[in-house]
């Protein structure tokens, strides 16, 4: 599953129907409220004004995206390339130098920049020679990888599909999840920025970092950063459903 069931906990677990035309594909996504026919139902966030209800703990799809954190040493001589274990999804990567901080996608001939030599090979500037870089990114699981990590689960004809109703965790609690934007820095927020929930594009329901004004703020804080041995992001939250 896309969150750590052993260490995550919810003080409340409720169930509601999913709104017409909505799909909650995987566990761990943030879900929001919508009124349909005068009755509150669930949807993925779609606006900065949405009301967050909690985290989905029932899914309809096998999990297909996985975050990972790697620690790799840049060669001391040219070519200054590092090979990742997987091919990152476009724009999902964040590369950090212990000397100058986050690198920028661009021309590796320029200091502080990098680019892809191949889908899973990154080339950096010569000034990074010998450094140990921290790389976080997301990649698409193959069917075999998904089965090896999460086993082949029965996702057809479940009660949640029959009744179009799923469970979601809320209240006070902590969650350690995969559904976050791996391209962001969760260790230090600039003034006016913080945890937000994405409400547009393919990553709706993912936790990210951004400007709080005009975005859907997440009601919680970081309690665990993604690491090489455990790439999940840990969050403490307070989502009270009255």
pLDDT digits 0-9 by tens, 77-125: 999 999 999 999 999 999 999 999 999 999 999 999 999 999 999 999 9
Most confident of 50-64, 85-99, 143-157: 85-99
Q: Is the pLDDT of residue 162 over 50?
A: no
Q: Is the pLDDT of residue 16 over 90?
A: yes
Give me the pLDDT at residue 25, please: 84
Domain that holds residue 235: 9-63+143-239
DSSP bridge pairs for 82 = 122
**pLDDT average, residue stretch 29-46:** 96
Kindly state the percentage of the chain with pLDDT values over 70. 91
Number of H helices and E strands in the chain, helices first, is 2, 18
Give me the pLDDT at residue 2, please: 79
User: Is 179 in the same domain as 166?
Assistant: yes
User: Is 112 in the same domain as 177?
Assistant: no
* 4, part of any domain: no
Exposure string for 76-107, b = 16+ CB within 10 A, e = fewer = eeeebbbebebebbeebbbbbbeeeeebeeee
Q: Is the pLDDT of residue 154 over 60?
A: no
Alpha helices in the chain (DSSP H): 143-150, 159-162
User: Is 226 in the same domain as 112?
Assistant: no
Give me the pLDDT at residue 97, please: 98
Phi, psi of 202 (to 5 degrees): -75, -15
Choosing from 116, 140, 164, the residue where a domain stops is 140
How many structural domains is the chain composed of? Answer: 2
Q: Is the pLDDT of residue 161 over 60?
A: no
The dihedral built from the CA positions of residue 4, 189, 168 and 151, taken in this order, carries a sign that is: negative
* 2, part of any domain: no
* 1, part of any domain: no
Q: Evaluate whether 82 touches 137 at the Cβ level (below 8 Å).
A: no
DSSP bridge pairs for 171 = 239
Q: Determine how many CB atoms are found less than 10 A away from the CB of residue 179.
A: 26
User: Is 148 in the same domain as 208?
Assistant: yes
């Amino acid at each position: 599953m896309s969150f750590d069931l052993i260490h995550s906990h919810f003080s409340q677990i409720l169930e509601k129907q999913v709104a017409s035309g909505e799909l909650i594909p995987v566990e761990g996504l943030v879900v929001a409220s919508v009124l349909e026919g005068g009755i509150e139902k669930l949807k993925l966030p779609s606006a900065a004004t949405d009301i967050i209800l909690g985290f989905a703990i029932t899914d309809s799809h096998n999990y297909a995206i996985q975050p990972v954190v790697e620690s790799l040493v840049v060669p001391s001589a040219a070519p200054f390339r590092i090979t990742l274990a997987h091919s990152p999804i476009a724009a999902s990567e964040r590369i950090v130098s212990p000397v100058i901080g986050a690198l920028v996608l661009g021309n590796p001939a320029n200091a502080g920049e990098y680019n892809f030599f191949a889908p899973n090979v990154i080339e950096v500037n010569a000034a990074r020679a010998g450094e140990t870089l921290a790389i976080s990114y997301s990649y698409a699981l193959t069917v075999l990888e998904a089965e090896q990590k999460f086993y082949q689960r029965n996702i057809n004809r479940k009660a949640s599909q029959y009744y179009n109703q799923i469970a979601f965790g809320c209240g006070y609690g902590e969650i350690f999840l995969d559904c976050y934007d791996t391209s962001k820095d969760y260790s230090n927020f600039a003034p006016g920025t913080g945890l937000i929930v994405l409400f547009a594009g393919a990553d709706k329901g993912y936790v990210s970092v951004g400007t709080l004004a005009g975005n859907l703020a997440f009601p919680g804080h970081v309690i665990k950063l993604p690491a090489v041995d455990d790439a999940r992001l840990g969050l403490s939250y307070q989502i009270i459903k009255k």
